[in-house]
A and B are shown apart, each in its own frame.
Chain A
Amino acid sequence: MSFAAFLFYAFAALALLSSLGMVLNVKNTVAGAMWLVVTMISLAVLYVLLDAYLVAVLQIMVYAGAILVLFLFVVMLLNLRSDAFAAPRSRATKFVGALVGVGALASFLSLLPGALPRVVEVPASFGSYRDVGLTLYRSYVVAFEVASFLLLAAVVGAVVLAKRRLD
């Protein structure tokens, strides 16, 4: 196994474990958010190993750096500690939910061996900012503009929703 492969498997394991940590953590919501940060960063490393350099950087900057920080702000604003809730209305839902998740996994995994294509060689500039940028601003500029509108709408919506009442 090459060093890159070893790195890959290591960080893959880390991503798995930290995601489990986030999901299974009931006592401390902030800790859960931190676990998610670890997952994000591990995924960023995986992206680098897959020649997706721009995406990896953006993952750290936007996802781990902005989105999860936002999560943490909200958690701290609402002063959420642990999940101390009333009795659940229906236990069956949880069970079914877990089952559905496992079932989805099983079905995906069962499809794996036969369906995948062959891997091609890529040039050295693959995944760099130049490469992605050219494709983005040439072929997918409409999608880009629409995405900015989406962000505008989200900003407006967030402000409206979180505002205190004007009374």
Chain B
Amino acid sequence: MVTELEWLRWIPLLPGAVAATHGVLLGLLRRPLSRGATIFLSCGAVLGSFLLSLAALWQLISLPEGKRFLGDTVAPWIGAGRFSADIAFSLDPISAVMILLVSGVGLLIHVYSIGYMDHDLRDDKGFPRFFCYLNLFTFSMLVLVLADNLPLMFLGWEGVGLCSYLLIGFWYSDRWNAYCGAKAFVVNRIGDFGFLVGIFLLFTAIAGVLPPERANEAVVFRQIEAVFPLIAEKTIQLPHWLGWLPGAPEWKLATLIGLCFFVGAAGKSAQIPLYVWLPDAMAGPTPVSALIHAATMVTAGVYMVCRMSFLFAEAPGASSVIAWTGGATALFAATLALVQTDIKKVLAYSTVSQLGYMFLAAGCGGYSAAMFHLLTHGFFKALLFLGAGAVILALHHEQDIEKMGGLNRFIPWWRPTHLCFLVGVLAIAGAPGLSGFFSKDEVLLAAYTAEHVPGHRWLWGMGLATAGLTAFYMFRLHFRVFFGAPRMKDAAKHAIHEAPSTVTTPLVILAVLSALAGLAGLPQLYGDWLQIANSNSLANFQAQALASAHVHEVPHVVEIQLALAAVSVATLGGLTAWLLYLRRPELPEKLAAALAVPYRLLRDNYRVDEFYDRVLVSPLVWISERVLWKGVDDRLIDGVAVLGTARSVQRLASHGLKYAQSGLTQSYLVLMLLGATAVVAYLLG
């Protein structure tokens, strides 16, 4: 069933080896590579991964449909009783799409970083370190995607979390950056806990129904999928204090496992309530935001849900939770993006919102729609971030859009920075014909037809509203940055220049992809119109790996109606932005003053961070400091156990034992005789 492909392991291992080389040279030997060598090795490694990914895809396609699996077992890894896992990689349709995205976009961002980090004024020794971390990240992400079994996927999962921390806090001499990195890591960790619990539950459930020699089938994805029907109908009894939960007192085991996995996905992919790290993650360099927080790491959660789609198909409760969380997050984050003034924060909240879309689709059973949106979002969001980076470079590290404006006088629309940014904005807003239009429509269609999710029509409405808001805030961003009166300092105006070609070339490539990627997943509606049979190549290709139990066919008329609704809402958003920021620029301030309270709330990000701090973080810190440190560690362990034993021994000696040393010869004689008598008695008796 699985075809062996020996060189599959080199896809993650090439960047991994380069990262290790950098690590040894920088960390142990303190001799960084030269700039040229760093570029050659790091970019070369990712290029190699990309080419190998293409070759692997070619091999995959040449296999017959339904049997498209490529595998590569490297070495045994864990063997502990019934539980065993190997270091093994496997390629199937969804992971093939992912590795192309990761290595392709990763390659573009590596090239972009050459130009971007050269202009880094803060730390010019960071060049090799940055590329080391980027390579390490690429390695971890590829391991995550290509992993054959759950523990190895978790290894990659942790690895990307680590690299996220390292890269967000890259300029660590500024404490705020280090704090943001730590925040990302800690919030991720909370999700990881859920992921682990899910793995344990799944393993226990499956190993419980299999004979011991087949127990390790509970970790490899393909084999879990094969034996999953054995436990699909199992239920568990909830304890009576959880009786208020819907569906109590009996829950499907699959639902519980699905929820645990979703906690992990929510942490990694920044859904409510674990999204708080993503806006602060913008403290890292812009290429990092583009790679990790737009195209790859945050999509790991979506990938994981799609990978386990066979589980979620059997767990309608968990799927509904996913769908509603995704939809709520999408709307919630979109409202927050309306009032941000940092160019990267707008894009960060936009990412959270779009990830919400992906989970909305996945929860509604539209797994291929989720993967499609993942792909297109990877292109246009990376494009937007890189474009923002180019703007930031042009204005010498200015990130506040209130201090930008009128950039089109210095960088006209036909220059790469401006044009590519415009393409990105159009794509994310869902302009017809561009990739975002098709993928968003697929997502909304999945929500509209998801009968198994309660209130799915409301979800569709939320998705529609989000689309409108998205168009609004993206055009707001574009107009504030590029149009209107210039609001920057005069000194800065003279220094504005277009970015170097290492920066602009990736922009152009991504713009082309953002525009044309829609063709990969062209819905059949348009396929019929253009007379292409089986036009949705992406969905067809991935059908082998994704569960499709809840796909409903709707008449083409309804599809067209839905598409028109989305386009009109987006147009409305765009026009509103044009009105408020180009025609009547004095209006936004008046609106803000009139709606002062909601505006304040939005500006404070709904005070979520403060809430978490009050309810979770401060009590935890208080307990750690007062109770565990001062109480237990200082007083109990140090005071009683360590110093206490020493003091009591000392007191015993100085108040008790010393009196034996009286100096009186005859006392000593008595003791000696007693001892001798004891020995003799022992020997005789």
Determine whether A and B are in direct contact in the complex, meaning some CB atoms lie less than 8 angstroms apart. Answer: yes
Q: Are A90 and B673 in contact (CB under 8 A)?
A: no
Interface stretch among A12-20, A51-59, A92-100, A128-136?
A92-100
The residue of chain B having its C-beta at the shortest distance from the C-beta of A98 within the complex is B670
In whole Å, how far is B684's beta carbon from the nearest beta carbon of chain A? 7
Q: A100-B673, A100-B674, A104-B673 are in contact. Are A90 and B667 (CB under 8 A)?
A: yes
Q: Which of B662, B670, B677, B681 contacts A96 (CB 8 A)?
A: B670
Q: Is B594 an interface residue (CB 8 A)?
A: no
Q: Are B674 and A90 in contact (CB under 8 A)?
A: no
In whole Å, how far is A47's beta carbon from the nearest beta carbon of chain B? 25
Q: Are B669 and A90 in contact (CB under 8 A)?
A: no
Query: Which residues of A sit under 8 angstroms from B662, Cβ to Cβ?
Result: 89-90
Q: Is A111 an interface residue (CB 8 A)?
A: yes
Q: A107-B681, A111-B684 are in contact. Are A93 and B664 (CB under 8 A)?
A: yes
The residue of chain A having its C-beta at the shortest distance from the C-beta of B663 within the complex is A89
Q: Which of A89, A97, A107, A111 contacts B670 (CB 8 A)?
A: A97
Q: Is B666 an interface residue (CB 8 A)?
A: yes
- Rounded to whole angstroms, the CA-CA distance of A111 and B681 in the bound complex is 10
Q: Are B666 and A97 in contact (CB under 8 A)?
A: yes
The residue of chain A having its C-beta at the shortest distance from the C-beta of B672 within the complex is A100
Q: Are A93 and B673 in contact (CB under 8 A)?
A: no
- Rounded to whole angstroms, the CA-CA distance of A96 and B666 in the bound complex is 10
Query: What 20 additional pairs, Cβ within 8 angstroms, besides A89-B662, A94-B666?
Result: A89-B664, A90-B662, A90-B664, A93-B664, A93-B666, A93-B667, A93-B670, A96-B670, A97-B666, A97-B670, A100-B670, A100-B673, A100-B674, A100-B677, A103-B677, A104-B673, A104-B677, A107-B677, A107-B681, A111-B684
The residue of chain A having its C-beta at the shortest distance from the C-beta of B681 within the complex is A107
Query: Which residues of B sit under 8 angstroms from A93, Cβ to Cβ?
Result: 664, 666-667, 670
Majority DSSP secondary structure for residues of B touching A: helix
- Rounded to whole angstroms, the CA-CA distance of A93 and B667 in the bound complex is 6
Query: Which residues of A sit under 8 angstroms from B674, Cβ to Cβ?
Result: 100
The residues in B between 655 and 685 inclusive whose CB is less than 8 angstroms from any CB of A are 662, 664, 666-667, 669-670, 673-674, 677, 681, 684
- Rounded to whole angstroms, the CA-CA distance of A59 and B322 in the bound complex is 109
- A53-97 vs B, CB cutoff 8 Å, 1 = contact: the mask equals 000000000000000000000000000000000000110011011
In whole Å, how far is B139's beta carbon from the nearest beta carbon of chain A? 79
Query: Which residues of B sit under 8 angstroms from A104, Cβ to Cβ?
Result: 673, 677
Query: Which residues of A sit under 8 angstroms from B677, Cβ to Cβ?
Result: 100, 103-104, 107
The residue of chain B having its C-beta at the shortest distance from the C-beta of A115 within the complex is B684
Query: Which residues of A sit under 8 angstroms from B666, Cβ to Cβ?
Result: 93-94, 97
- Rounded to whole angstroms, the CA-CA distance of A107 and B677 in the bound complex is 9
Q: Which of A97, A103, A107 contacts B669 (CB 8 A)?
A: A97
- Rounded to whole angstroms, the CA-CA distance of A90 and B664 in the bound complex is 9
In whole Å, how far is A85's beta carbon from the nearest beta carbon of chain B? 13
In whole Å, how far is A107's beta carbon from the nearest beta carbon of chain B? 7
Majority DSSP secondary structure for residues of A touching B: helix
- Ordered by A's residue number, 20 sampled pairs between the chains whose C-beta atoms are within 8 Å are A89-B662, A89-B664, A90-B662, A90-B664, A93-B664, A93-B666, A93-B667, A96-B670, A97-B666, A97-B669, A100-B670, A100-B673, A100-B674, A100-B677, A103-B677, A104-B673, A104-B677, A107-B677, A107-B681, A111-B684
In whole Å, how far is A58's beta carbon from the nearest beta carbon of chain B? 27
In whole Å, how far is A117's beta carbon from the nearest beta carbon of chain B? 15
- Rounded to whole angstroms, the CA-CA distance of A94 and B673 in the bound complex is 14
- Rounded to whole angstroms, the CA-CA distance of A110 and B41 in the bound complex is 94
Query: Which residues of A sit under 8 angstroms from B667, Cβ to Cβ?
Result: 90, 93
Ranked 7 nearest A-B pairs via Cβ:
A93-B667, A97-B670, A100-B673, A100-B670, A96-B670, A93-B666, A104-B677
- Rounded to whole angstroms, the CA-CA distance of A94 and B670 in the bound complex is 9
Query: Which residues of A sit under 8 angstroms from B664, Cβ to Cβ?
Result: 89-90, 93
Query: Which residues of A sit under 8 angstroms from B673, Cβ to Cβ?
Result: 100, 104
- Rounded to whole angstroms, the CA-CA distance of A100 and B670 in the bound complex is 7
In whole Å, how far is A86's beta carbon from the nearest beta carbon of chain B? 13
- B637-660 vs A, CB cutoff 8 Å, 1 = contact: the mask equals 000000000000000000000000
- Rounded to whole angstroms, the CA-CA distance of A97 and B672 in the bound complex is 11
In whole Å, how far is B545's beta carbon from the nearest beta carbon of chain A? 91
In whole Å, how far is B220's beta carbon from the nearest beta carbon of chain A? 78
In whole Å, how far is A146's beta carbon from the nearest beta carbon of chain B? 24
- Rounded to whole angstroms, the CA-CA distance of A107 and B684 in the bound complex is 11
Query: Which residues of B sit under 8 angstroms from A96, Cβ to Cβ?
Result: 670
- A102-144 vs B, CB cutoff 8 Å, 1 = contact: the mask equals 0110010001000000000000000000000000000000000
Query: Which residues of B sit under 8 angstroms from A90, Cβ to Cβ?
Result: 662, 664, 667
In whole Å, how far is B91's beta carbon from the nearest beta carbon of chain A? 89
- Rounded to whole angstroms, the CA-CA distance of A93 and B662 in the bound complex is 11
- Rounded to whole angstroms, the CA-CA distance of A94 and B666 in the bound complex is 8
Query: Which residues of B sit under 8 angstroms from A89, Cβ to Cβ?
Result: 662, 664
The residue of chain B having its C-beta at the shortest distance from the C-beta of A103 within the complex is B677
- Rounded to whole angstroms, the CA-CA distance of A134 and B639 in the bound complex is 73
In whole Å, how far is A113's beta carbon from the nearest beta carbon of chain B? 14
Residue of B670, B673, B677, B684 with most partner-chain A CB within 10 A = B670
In whole Å, how far is B242's beta carbon from the nearest beta carbon of chain A? 73
Query: Which residues of A sit under 8 angstroms from B670, Cβ to Cβ?
Result: 93, 96-97, 100
- Rounded to whole angstroms, the CA-CA distance of A61 and B673 in the bound complex is 31
The residue of chain B having its C-beta at the shortest distance from the C-beta of A96 within the complex is B670
The residue of chain B having its C-beta at the shortest distance from the C-beta of A97 within the complex is B670
In whole Å, how far is A25's beta carbon from the nearest beta carbon of chain B? 18
In whole Å, how far is B488's beta carbon from the nearest beta carbon of chain A? 97
In whole Å, how far is A98's beta carbon from the nearest beta carbon of chain B? 10
Query: Which residues of B sit under 8 angstroms from A107, Cβ to Cβ?
Result: 677, 681
- Rounded to whole angstroms, the CA-CA distance of A97 and B664 in the bound complex is 12
In whole Å, how far is B673's beta carbon from the nearest beta carbon of chain A? 5
- Rounded to whole angstroms, the CA-CA distance of A111 and B684 in the bound complex is 9
- Rounded to whole angstroms, the CA-CA distance of A13 and B666 in the bound complex is 28
Query: Which residues of A sit under 8 angstroms from B681, Cβ to Cβ?
Result: 107
In whole Å, how far is B68's beta carbon from the nearest beta carbon of chain A? 94
Residue of A93, A96, A104 with most partner-chain B CB within 10 A = A93
- Rounded to whole angstroms, the CA-CA distance of A158 and B554 in the bound complex is 123
- Rounded to whole angstroms, the CA-CA distance of A107 and B679 in the bound complex is 13
- Rounded to whole angstroms, the CA-CA distance of A97 and B666 in the bound complex is 8
In whole Å, how far is A105's beta carbon from the nearest beta carbon of chain B? 11
- Rounded to whole angstroms, the CA-CA distance of A89 and B674 in the bound complex is 21
Query: Which residues of A sit under 8 angstroms from B684, Cβ to Cβ?
Result: 111
Query: Which residues of B sit under 8 angstroms from A97, Cβ to Cβ?
Result: 666, 669-670
- Rounded to whole angstroms, the CA-CA distance of A103 and B662 in the bound complex is 23
In whole Å, how far is B657's beta carbon from the nearest beta carbon of chain A? 17
The residue of chain A having its C-beta at the shortest distance from the C-beta of B676 within the complex is A104
- Rounded to whole angstroms, the CA-CA distance of A125 and B510 in the bound complex is 124
- Rounded to whole angstroms, the CA-CA distance of A58 and B684 in the bound complex is 32
- Rounded to whole angstroms, the CA-CA distance of A104 and B664 in the bound complex is 21
- Rounded to whole angstroms, the CA-CA distance of A100 and B684 in the bound complex is 18
- Rounded to whole angstroms, the CA-CA distance of A107 and B667 in the bound complex is 21
The residue of chain A having its C-beta at the shortest distance from the C-beta of B668 within the complex is A93
- B220-254 vs A, CB cutoff 8 Å, 1 = contact: the mask equals 00000000000000000000000000000000000
Query: Which residues of B sit under 8 angstroms from A94, Cβ to Cβ?
Result: 666
The residues in B between 474 and 500 inclusive whose CB is less than 8 angstroms from any CB of A are none
- A8-41 vs B, CB cutoff 8 Å, 1 = contact: the mask equals 0000000000000000000000000000000000
In whole Å, how far is B135's beta carbon from the nearest beta carbon of chain A? 81
- Rounded to whole angstroms, the CA-CA distance of A61 and B666 in the bound complex is 31
- Rounded to whole angstroms, the CA-CA distance of A96 and B673 in the bound complex is 11
- Rounded to whole angstroms, the CA-CA distance of A111 and B664 in the bound complex is 32
